[in-house]
Amino acid sequence: MPATLDQPRNRTRRSLSTDRARRPRRRERRARENDVRQPRRHAINPTWDRSNRPHAGAFATGAAATSAPAKSRRRKSRLGKFFSGFTLEKSFTILSFLVASGLIVLCSLDLALAWPWMHASLLFDWTYLGVGIAMLWLTWDVFNDQTR
């Protein structure tokens, strides 16, 4: 029998998918046994209301919550919190930390080893060493504020 347009000889994937029953969409899926519908992750719930948490009754009565899942998630370190998102303020904090540490290192080297400026001005060395220490302290204070 010759191939016609109604019944092609080689069926494509597209034509095969029309024969099968359509897979139900996410919203149309049937509930299974012991299927608990979880709230959407993007839903905003107030943090002060403990009744929306899964085991709120056990905490309120003081009873032991046997089915409460243990949270094994570790807290982020301070550097992890600092580098978690990029902002212009954080880049200025990193830059000021580098400048302060560079001033401290260069002025300390000139005072101790007469390198790189060969004791050209002790007033310059002591002044900029103090400025570097003050800048490092201020940068550390800003870093603490950004990681809280």
pLDDT digits (tens, 9 = 90+) for 62-118: 555 555 556 668 888 888 888 888 899 999 999 999 999 999 999 999 999 999 999
In this prediction, residue 148 carries a pLDDT of: 86
The mean of the pLDDT values for the chain is 77
pLDDT beyond 70 at 29: no
pTM of structure: 0.50
In this predicted model, which residue has the larger pLDDT, 50 or 141? Answer: 141
Residues in the chain: 148
Which tokens hold the place of 94? 């990193």
Q: What is the dihedral of CA 61, 62, 67, 70, to 10 degrees?
A: 130
Neighbours of 90 (CB within 10 A): 17
Stretch 8-17: mean pLDDT: 57
In this prediction, residue 73 carries a pLDDT of: 82
- What's the distance, Cα to Cα, between the start and end of the chain in Å? 78
In this prediction, residue 51 carries a pLDDT of: 56
Which tokens hold the place of 44? 């905003």
In this prediction, residue 56 carries a pLDDT of: 52
